[in-house]
Structure 1
Amino acid sequence: MADALVEGGFAQAGYTQVSIDDCWSNGRDPNTRRLRADPDRFPHGIPYLVQYMEQRNLTLGIYADSGRKTCANFEGTYGYEELDAETFIQWGVSYVKMDACNMPDPTFRTRMYTRFGDALQQAQRKTGIGLIYSCSWAVYFGKNESTRPLTGLYHEAGCNTWRNFHDIGNSWKSLYSIIMHWADYWSDLQKKPSGTFNDADMLLVGDMSNDHGGLSVEQARLQFGFWAMIASPLFIGADVRSMSPVYRDILLNQRVIAINQDVSGRQADCVLGCSGAPAESNTGKMAASTNLQVWFKSVTTTTTTSNKASMAIAFFNLNNGSTPNNQSATLNITYQFSARRSQIGECFDLWSASTVDLCNQGRGGSSEYWEIRVVRVDDDTDFDGNTKDDPMVHVSVAALNMPPTCHRLLRIDSHSDDQIQPLLFS
């Protein structure tokens, strides 16, 4: 698998970690009590595997469980937190996914995650070697994100990333449920501490197994686009060795990956079709009944000579296709820059890799999928009360004729490096 990541261009695109999930271990050494790798699956042990990855400029991630047993009933970390943290760092793994099955008491979960987090930090201080601590703790608190202990996850347990919802299954029904969870709690999910990430689970793109039917190509693009907008970690859940070119191209789309990997780590705002979406609050619109959602986030576009402020806009038609349901949606955005500069540069459809016709000063541009209208307005008095200091810009973006379970993903660049701050959605 590691060789396929390199040879297939995945590593170059940023997929540089191979993570082992449950079922890798074979109990503990009777003398040292350290975890042992299954000798049939990993005859040379985990340190050898780490070295194999490093020779290919990859890293290795590993699975553990804070209970007495893992979810698949292998050896757990309960009572061995310090030893296992020390072992993982000595082995050279770069990422630990900590699950929470088989706890002696469910109320222990908070304590156990904090105990392992403390052990990791102590081992890292001794060695100077850091790793990513991924926690499944949050998902065990139920669905309501407003009651999640985000402060405890980061400041007490030291988690860098955490799962938020149930395990994803290889079906549109499962993917839809995760997207709707984000639609219900998007504003709560944004309250994560800076530098941490909500994990929506692995990507199904390219998983052609027969269980539950899998995803169509359009649904796979929709998942990848949504994960990019919410800044979820990108874990490929399919076999890249046998992946068809159409799915490979989805996963290797550098324009979409850049939205996910934006330096801010910011999650998108849902501005239409979600609970508390601002476009609905401002206009009385309600898109939920039509399964339409519109998401927005400010990003930075890096070129060879400069950084440009950009905005990524995603339109999602979540209808499952049981009835003909092509949809169109329009988002009106008003924003301003903090300095007087030319406001709009170029506009890109991130899937077709094409530049969308975009005209300033109110002249419309259109294509088969998009209609863009941009107007720059310099009022006599700006929002600061000063005279003509800050250009105010109106952008109207329409995604046209989207078929069921489809989305459009657009990036509009400015000529400025000032962050784009929306003032109003409608």
Structure 2
Amino acid sequence: MTATMKLVSSVRRLGCVLAFCFLALFLWGLPVARALDNGLAMTPTMGWLHWERFMCNVNCQEEPDSCVSEKLFLQIAEIMASDGWKDVGYEYLCIDDCWMAPERDSEGRLQADSKRFPGGIRRLANYVHSKGLKLGIYADVGNKTCAGFPGSFGYYDIDAETFADWGVDLLKFDGCYCDSIKHLADGYKHMSLALNRTGRSIVYSCEWPLYMWPIFKPNYTEIREYCNHWRNFADVYDSWQSIRSILDWTTSNQERIVPVAGPGGWNDPDMLVIGNFGLSRDQQITQMALWAIMAAPLLMSNDLRHISLEAKALLQDKDVIAINQDPLGKQGYRLRKVQ
């Protein structure tokens, strides 16, 4: 059975179960806008991100195995390298919010929490690189991160230089605590240019349109010129209702967002929650299949130390991943809806 046949078969199994059904998905044939000129993310980014599964758990004293810490990332890096994840394309190990110390250092630089990351980010990056993987990190365009740690406003250049010096390979740049839409847009542009000036190859993951939508319609042509992928909708949670709301929003706005996606710049519907607790087997198949068809970044958020063989096989399905990683980079869209 071909990759396409296997994918269509997985989706059709769910056709009578879902309240909405993607009867067919086709490739949008319009030319894409100019992409960020950093030569990165020519296919959708693949990797692991801590947020949905581990959130902002900083209580390492009572929960040492599930807090946001150096220990967690060292363990996940080891598993990604040794248990087939890297081999099928999951190469970015990404830190989300809550890694920072509450204050910058005496030179104005961000610093990791010294108790939870005793070796600092540079040592963690060196270890991740030694496993043939790449390290992602999190910061915020505003005055504070969403969890209240130091934001990058007023520090874009120094933060970009710090990340490059540490050996970071991807930056997820959030949009909390901005004073205005101008602050938001200017900040995202400034950081994009600052990252490129470092000379290091750093994938730039933005949340720019997500924070614009409540007030203004984003200019996706402009966003694509500065970002490698961009979040459009609210955070995913470990539930079918969350997955469905993302799919509903995506299809409702597909005429705006699908044409702009392609090599170097992708619509990001947020993390894969396969291997957690909230989705049935068929719902997990649906998320994997549709994220692949939508040319979405495949960033898992789960506990790879305790994942079922069934979920692992789905996430590592080479035929489905091949759909996602097609070099042509055309995002699928919904042709019609069956009640």
User: Would you call these one fold, judging by a TM-score over 0.5?
Assistant: yes
Q: How far does the alpha carbon of each residue in 1:241-274 deviate from its partner, in whole angstroms, 9 at most, with x for none?
A: 100111111101000000001001110132221x
Asked if structure 2 preserves the Cα contact closer than 8 Å seen for 1:2 and 1:18, the reply is: yes
Residue 121 in 1 paired to residue 196 in 2?
A: yes
CA distance 1:144–1:10, change in 2 (3 Å): farther
1:252 and 2:316 matched: yes
CA distances 1:163-201 after superposition (whole Å, capped 9, x unpaired): 011111111111001111122122221221542100000
Whether contact under 8 Å (1:151, 1:193) holds in the other structure is no
Per the alignment, residue 240 of structure 1 pairs with: 304
**Shift in alpha-carbon separation, 1:104–1:76, aligned structure 2, 3 A:** same
Tell me if the contact between 2:220 and 2:257 (Cα under 8 Å) persists in the aligned partners: no
- The answer to whether the aligner puts 1:173 opposite 2:241 as a matched pair is yes
Aligned-pair CA distance for 1:11: 1.1
Q: What is the aligned length?
A: 263
Choose between structure 1 and 2: higher strand proportion: 1
Alignment partner, residue 271 of structure 1:
335
Q: 1:31: how far off?
A: 2.6
Which residue of the other structure, out of 245, 262, 268, is the alignment partner of 1:199? 268
Residue identity in the other structure for 1:162: W
Which residue in the other structure is 1:187 paired with? Answer: 255
Whole-Å Cα distance in 2 between the matches of residues 163 and 179 of structure 1? 13
Equivalent position SS for 2:335: strand
In structure 2, the partner of 1:278 is: none
Deviates more, 1:29-38 or 1:56-65: 29-38
Instruction: Kindly indicate whether the alpha-carbon contact (under 8 Å) linking 1:231 and 1:266 is maintained by their aligned counterparts in 2.
Output: yes
Structure-1-length-normalised TM-score: 0.60
1:389-404 matches, cutoff 5 A: none
TM-score by length of 2: 0.75
Matched, 1:80 2:155: yes
Find the counterpart in structure 2 of residue 221 from structure 1.
285
- RCO (CA 8 Å, sep 6+): is it higher in 1 or 2? 2
Q: How does 1:17-56 map to 2 (within 5 A)?
A: 17-56=92-131
Residue aligned with 1:225, SS: helix
In 2: Cα distance, 1:47 partner to 1:201 partner: 27
Match of 1:164 among 232, 252, 255: 232
C-alpha contact (below 8 Å) 2:206/2:227 kept by paired residues: yes
Residue in structure 1 matching 2:210, options 124, 127, 139? 139
1:160 Cα deviation from its structure 2 partner? 0.8
Q: 1:51 to 1:180 in 2, by over 3 A?
A: same
Displacement, 1:234? 0.3
Which amino acid letter does the alignment assign opposite residue 110 of structure 2?
L
Q: Which residue pairs with 1:153 in the alignment?
A: 223
Q: CA deviation at 1:230?
A: 0.3
Q: Distance in 1 between matches of 2:287 and 2:274?
A: 8
C-alpha displacement at 1:28, in angstroms? 4.5
> Which consecutive unaligned segments of at least 5 residues does structure 1 have?
209-213, 274-286, 291-426
**Structure 1 residues 262 and 14 mapped into 2: Cα distance closer, same or farther (>3 Å)?**
same
**Aligned residue type for 1:240:** L
Aligned residue in 2 for 1:367: none
**Equivalent position of 1:406 in the other structure:** none
Q: State the distance in 2 between where 1:46 and 1:9 align.
A: 25
Cα deviation digits, residues 197-252 of structure 1 (max 9, x gap):
000000010012xxxxx000110010000000000000111001100111111101
Aligned-pair identity (%): 37
For 2:324 and 2:262, locate their aligned partners in 1 and report how far apart those are by CA, in whole Å. 15
The answer to whether the 8 A contact 2:134-2:168 is kept is yes
SS at match of 1:62: strand
- Preserved contact between residue 142 and residue 177 of structure 2 (Cα < 8 Å): yes
CA distance in 1, matches of 2:161, 2:322: 34
Deviation at 1:152, TM superposition (A): 1.9
8 Å CA contact 1:150–1:193 kept in 2: the answer is: no
Q: Specify which structure has the higher proportion of helix.
A: 2
Q: Which residue pairs with 2:141 in the alignment? A: 66
The equivalent residue for 1:369 is none
Q: What is the root-mean-square deviation of aligned Cα atoms in Å?
A: 1.6
1:140 Cα deviation from its structure 2 partner: 1.1
Could you tell me which amino acid in structure 1 is paired with residue 201 of structure 2? G
Whole-angstrom CA distance in 1 between matches of 2:295 and 2:262: 12
Alignment correspondent of 1:410? none
Instruction: Measure, in 2, the Cα distance between the counterparts of 1:144 and 1:226.
Output: 28
In structure 2, the partner of 1:324 is none
Q: For the residues of structure 2 that align with 1:175 and 1:193, how far apart are their CA atoms?
A: 20
Q: Deviations over 1:133-179 (max 9, x none)?
A: 1101111122799x321122122xx1111001111111111100111
One-letter code aligned to 1:142? W
Q: Which amino acid aligns with 1:206?
A: G
Whether the 8 Å contact between 1:139 and 1:166 is mirrored in structure 2 is: yes
